[in-house]
Amino acid sequence: MSKLKVGFPLYEGFDSLDVIGPFQTFTFAGMDLYLLGPTKSAITSFEGIALTPRATFDACPQLDLLFVPGGSDPVAVLQQGHLGCNPFLDFLARQAPACKLVCSVCTGALLLAGAGLLDGHIATTHWAFKPVLSLFPCQVVDDYRRYVKSGNRITGGGISSGLDEALYIVSLLFGTDQARQGQLAMQYNPQPIFHCGDPADSDVKDNPGMVADRVQAFAVPQALRDVKKWLAG
């Protein structure tokens, strides 16, 4: 039986943990993994980590699972053009119909939405970018759950959510026992020393300025303006 193929389409400024955490989770599940790009030249994350694609968008085989990472500026990918003249979005739209699951984590949801792949679906993204995702014709959840399944779409919250989401995906595809084995192998047993993982967490409630600081640091107001302009174009 052939291994299920998983593709991670990369772009400049992707978030490395959005890719590497799920990549390792799917490795323990025995899946066939593809880092993908417009060419086979290395692509650099916003932290400065360079990853080399295994295949190009044009030469990629049909995937079973599409997993789109977030990044420092996914809006810049949208601004390369609309569906039909945007190589990244066109790749997503071309692959998605035959995929078992179409997934994203963090702001990767904006790219799925830009390709029309979240239309009519329930979705989530990084908490700070929910207003941006709400500009698209999807229903954005009003809580901070780690991932959301809607049909064969699965979208994850911010960055670290990718680990929980990937384990959930493994459980869907291979069963609970396989997912548990992977979690044990990675010794994934988070015990954070602080409690500020999302705006509802206790440490954030004690420091309300943290949310506004992050929104400004992530340039969310600019992203809102840019996506509105892109949608209008």
Active site residue ranges: 106
Structure tokens at 27: 């490795």
Give the β-pairing of 139-140 and 50-51.
unpaired
CA proximity to 57, closest of 102, 101, 10: 10
Query: The dihedral of CA 122, 128, 133, 134: what is its sign?
Result: positive
CB hemisphere CA count around 128 (13 angstroms): 22
DSSP characters for 139-179?
EE-SS--SEEEETTEEEE-STTHHHHHHHHHHHHHH-HHHH
The amino acid at residue 165 is E
The three-class DSSP label of residue 89 is helix
Could you tell me if 147 and 156 are in contact, meaning their C-beta atoms sit under 8 angstroms apart? yes
Structure tokens belonging to residue 121: 């679906």
